[in-house]
Amino acid sequence: MTSFNAILELIKLELKMEWRMKYAIAGAILYVVTTVFVLYTSIQNEESTPWNALYWMLALFIAVNAITKSFALNKSGAHLYLYQLASPIQIIIAKTIYNLCLVFLLLLVSFGVFSLFLGNPIEQIGLFIITLFLGSMGLSLVLTFVSAISSKTANSGVFMAILGFPLIIPIFLSLIKLTTITLQSEAGEYLSDISVLIAIDVILFGFVIILFPYLWRD
């Protein structure tokens, strides 16, 4: 089996596992709608809505809730099965791609719900979609790897917070800056910020590819 086919089969496995837990996807979507509605009812009387900050605050919790279970579902038997099925690099790439698609989809859904309740101030929609994708990639890389580490500890939630949030901070600084540009009628200089975000994603990918095999074999 080639590496591409192995990764594809692993992604299919993730989809099958997710489908068996359909309540998880429904719960994530319900979480998005409920949270946005609560935010809407809380700030509807405010003169100005901090749309940018609220959206990425919600995005952080969406990503954490969606990816935390990546390796938590892999009990000892499933871990051994995956160990024999594919290489560690194929496994982490497959899980990252799956989480990327899941987070990107949920962020698009949250954007739609945000637009419904809080309005849509985005002027540069194309740039905003690119920002969402690059942000989803960075969050997926960090949280998938941190989920793998925390799954080997007793207090996985604590380790997710301790290890994950410091790595997420530079990603969110770039995301908020880029989103601020998308709120303007005329896009300013954004190529440097896009480059920074891409560089962060590439560096994170390199670290994950190098370090995960040692973690997986432990």
Separation CA 4–CA 124 (nearest Å) = 35
> CB within 8 A of 147, min separation 6: which ones?
67, 68, 69, 70, 71, 72, 156, 160
The structure tokens listed for 45 are 């009387």
Q: How many residues does the chain have?
A: 218
> CB within 8 A of 61, min separation 6: which ones?
31, 35
Query: What local confidence, expressed as pLDDT, does residue 202 receive?
Result: 93
Query: What local confidence, expressed as pLDDT, does residue 137 receive?
Result: 93
Query: What local confidence, expressed as pLDDT, does residue 47 receive?
Result: 46
Burial of 133 (0-12, 13-18, 19+ CB in 10 A): middle
DSSP-assigned letter for residue 5:
H
Q: Are 73 and 95 in contact (CB under 8 A)?
A: no
Q: Which amino acid is at 212?
A: F
The structure tokens listed for 174 are 């770039």
What does pTM read for this prediction? 0.78
> CB within 8 A of 52, min separation 6: which ones?
176, 179, 180, 183
Q: Are 143 and 95 in contact (CB under 8 A)?
A: no
What is the pLDDT tens value at each position of the chain, 218 positions in all?
Answer: 567 777 777 777 767 666 655 545 555 555 566 566 655 654 554 544 577 878 888 888 888 777 777 666 555 555 556 666 667 788 888 888 989 999 999 999 989 988 888 788 888 888 999 999 999 999 899 888 887 777 666 555 555 666 677 778 888 888 888 888 888 877 667 788 889 899 999 999 998 888 888 776 66
Q: Domain segments of the chain: what residues?
A: 3-217
- CA angle, 128 as apex, 95 and 137 as ends, to 5°? 15
